[in-house]
Amino acid sequence: MNRPHTGPSPGSPTGAAAMPSRQGADAQAHSAEFRILLVEHDADDATMVRSVLAEQGDPRFTVTWCPTLTAALQHLGTEPVEAVLLDLSLPDCAGMDSLRQIAARHPTTPVVVLTGQTDAGDGLKALSLGAEDYLLKSELVWNLLARSLRYARERRALHCELEALREHERLEHEQAAFARLLSRSHTPVTAQMYGAIELAEASPDLFAELVHRYAELLGTHLNQQPRPGEKHATRDLRTMSDSLGLVGAGPRDVIRIHQDALRQCTSTVNDTTARAMGNESRLMLIELMGYVLAWYRCQAIGIDLHATAPAHLESSASEKEE
């Protein structure tokens, strides 16, 4: 396409306000805004796509143009869009890697691939990598492009809902497995004889304090992005394992403390954040269990860790042993 570029500069949104529709302003005011990120290195092609989207019809498309993948990822990080129109011949990322990067960083955003190649091979490969559709630039008309974008948005939304349902079912199964593990023993007398009474029953105040401390630890490390080389979570988990070992906490105690603390941390966040926190916290639970086990091994070979115990934990541990 050799038409001279006369369109707006990259990064600036355009829509009915910048490119008037054939319908009147009243119709535009009542149509829903559909935000599109156009990732296209060629200014003439970008102008052509914008011109097509500016034609009459509903929804009203608002287009932001980014000529590079770097600019597109920066925009997606700050401004949500309904869909991405992606050219695969970008100066800073050639081929399918641009699609992979957008899909990996913004999995809920649908991508429609634009191609100048008549060979369907690239389009089919793009679909296999997560694109919702692929369109030939030479065949773009408003009806085709608008329908593709609308369907892409609906399909991606449905896909995300199904994934959320699967994740919810998986979490329910996991919680049920924890519940079975933590269910009351059928031999309470034997458990009492061998000192296996759960910490929540033996010392409710101490249990509540440990839950509070662990919830603070989870909140600190699940809500921040650690810098490379930082191991604050490891240090804090080791300190927590010392406290758990000193009061004689067993595996059920550790899991129950983790569950109650995680419930506190996720009580005020949305479902997506809660799922992410749950996934990350499982790794912390595994690490914590490993440190508790190491603590008991140190005790078994005669290394005295009680000297570093806080006074209130030492007294609580003594109460439980009695």
Q: Is residue 178 part of a domain?
A: no
Tally of domains in the chain: 2
Segment 242-271 mean pLDDT: 85
Q: pLDDT, tens digit, for every residue of 85-139?
A: 999 889 998 788 899 999 888 988 999 998 877 666 777 888 888 888 888 888 8
Q: Is residue 305 part of a domain?
A: yes
**193/233 same-domain check:** yes
Torsion of CA 284, 285, 287, 291, to 10 degrees: 130
Q: pLDDT, tens digit, for every residue of 190-243?
A: 444 344 577 888 888 999 999 999 998 888 887 765 444 445 678 888 889 888
Q: pTM value?
A: 0.50
What does the pLDDT read at residue 246? 87
Q: Is residue 298 part of a domain?
A: yes
**148/275 same-domain check:** no
**128/193 same-domain check:** no
Q: Is residue 267 part of a domain?
A: yes
Q: Is residue 277 part of a domain?
A: yes
Do the beta carbons of residue 145 and residue 165 sit within 8 Å? no
**202/81 same-domain check:** no
CB-count burial class (<10 Å; 0-12, 13-18, 19+) for 37:
buried
Among 177, 188, 148, CA closest to 53? 148
**294/193 same-domain check:** yes
Q: Is residue 176 part of a domain?
A: no
CATH of the domain at 154: 3.40.50.2300
**Domain of 138?**
13-158
Among 259, 248, 246, 243, CA closest to 197? 248
Q: Is residue 3 part of a domain?
A: no
Q: Look at phi and psi of residue 84 and say left if phi exceeds 0, alpha if psi is from -120 to 50, else beta.
A: beta
**207/310 same-domain check:** yes
